Amino acid sequence: MKNKEIIFVVLLIISLVGALFLVRQRQELRRGAYYSNGRIILQPEDRIDAAVGDDVTVRAFFDSPSGTMVDNVHMVLCYGDQIDLPDSELASRVEFVADSGLVNDDNIVLKKEYDGENCVNVIAMANNSATLKDGINHFATVRFRAVSTGNGNITINTDRSKMTGSNPDTESTDHNIALEVTNASYSISAANDNNDDSNNNDDSNNDNDDTSSGADSQLNYKISFSGVKSTAKCADNWNVKVVVMGNGKNVTLNDTVHRDGELDGRAVYRGSVVVPNYAQYGSKVAVFVKGPKHLQMKFGEDNQSGVYNTAGGEISLVSGNNSKVFNFAKLPLLAGDVVGNNSTSQDGAINAVDFSYIKTKALAHENFNDGTYVLADLDGNCSMNSRDVDIVRQSLNEKQGQLY
């Protein structure tokens, strides 16, 4: 090599090193920048019902304001004594999602007690600035194990959690602004051994015998959900609200429904609630049923197959336990009420806000394990995709929530 060429190569190396140094310095500045309006969201938002021994799974999403690319999420999840992350299974129970841009061999999962509470640090970091994401992104899944009965919450400790990223509006200025978070909750029942059995006689959780002055009536019913086929693998044990109304009074009862056959290819579910002091609602009542992602629908008669457009209802309740099962499955509950206009909970209407939520989720095209509950998976096929968008689009064409 001639002298001139050697000098050129040396200069080239010096300038490359210089450029790398500058890039590194920029990244260092970026790392120190907390930005405003970050959110960490846990899904599902509805209470997770599980039995001892089951998994209690939450999916964590980061949500960043437009243009702000997230390069680090440090989430501190705290939880009650009813659920646990066994040390030996920690690595398999906390999964990082590649698509979030935050997958790295250096990612950290560390259990720790804060203020007497069980918590786990989940730290997801980027190792490649080219794949950073903004917007709403699923970055981690945490699979707790239910160990004892009781209710509790899975909360994100906002003081200890943070997100960092480059903020184009404020450059490298530090902003240590509290994150907004959406938490999760769970209810753990005693271990049961039959999950997919169609016989569920003992699952009514609304026994109220002691508090009511009159006799109780057991209301058994069958329902179906729009778009949920009999083959759906992520549509079990959904929670519904049942409102019994008559005589100017009403009562809201919570229930969990279980598979019981099929109708026209749709999965049929059976539920059962106990109506305390049922006589106060008169001899004929109307029943309203609302699903976890569905509009409330009115049922005024057995085997109803269309909208019940009459005031009141023709459902007769009788005293005590009985074998009568009202069939409301011919008119599926309309799916698509997943969020409110300004909130993350249902608001009794399906509109553009719900549509855009479902559509955003569907674009991610994510698949889940059988049995996973995901709000945006309207047809319960363990995948968020265009079918869910079609279902909400169909619902938009139908009536909005039927009120009483």
- List residues near Ca ion by CB under 5 A: 337, 347, 349, 354, 377, 379, 381, 383, 388
Q: How many C-beta atoms lie closer than 10 Å to residue 228's C-beta?
A: 26
Q: How far is the CB of 387 from Ca ion (least distance, A)?
A: 5
Return the number of the residue (260 or 377) whose C-beta is nearest Ca ion.
377
Q: Please report which helix (H) or strand (E) contains residue 79, including its range.
A: strand 69-79
Return the number of the residue (104 or 351) whose C-beta is nearest Ca ion.
351
Q: Peptide bond preceding 86: is omega within 30 degrees of 0, i.e. cis?
A: no
CB 304 within 8 A of CB 331: yes
Return the number of the residue (246 or 401) whose C-beta is nearest Ca ion.
401
Cα(67)–Cα(133) distance, rounded to whole angstroms?
9
Return the number of the residue (314 or 347) whose C-beta is nearest Ca ion.
347
**Of the candidates 277, 279, 269, the residue with the CA atom closest to the CA atom of residue 207:** 277
Return the number of the residue (211 or 342) whose C-beta is nearest Ca ion.
342
Q: How far is the CB of 289 from Ca ion (least distance, A)?
A: 17
**Of the candidates 191, 195, 193, 164, the residue with the CA atom closest to the CA atom of residue 177:** 164
Q: How many C-beta atoms lie closer than 10 Å to residue 252's C-beta?
A: 13
Q: How far is the CB of 385 from Ca ion (least distance, A)?
A: 6
Indicate the DSSP class of residue 246: E
Q: How far is the CB of 357 from Ca ion (least distance, A)?
A: 8
Return the number of the residue (54 or 379) whose C-beta is nearest Ca ion.
379
Cα(84)–Cα(184) distance, rounded to whole angstroms?
15
**Of the candidates 365, 356, 362, 363, the residue with the CA atom closest to the CA atom of residue 396:** 356
Q: How far is the CB of 144 from Ca ion (least distance, A)?
A: 24
Q: How many C-beta atoms lie closer than 10 Å to residue 261's C-beta?
A: 14
Q: How far is the CB of 240 from Ca ion (least distance, A)?
A: 17
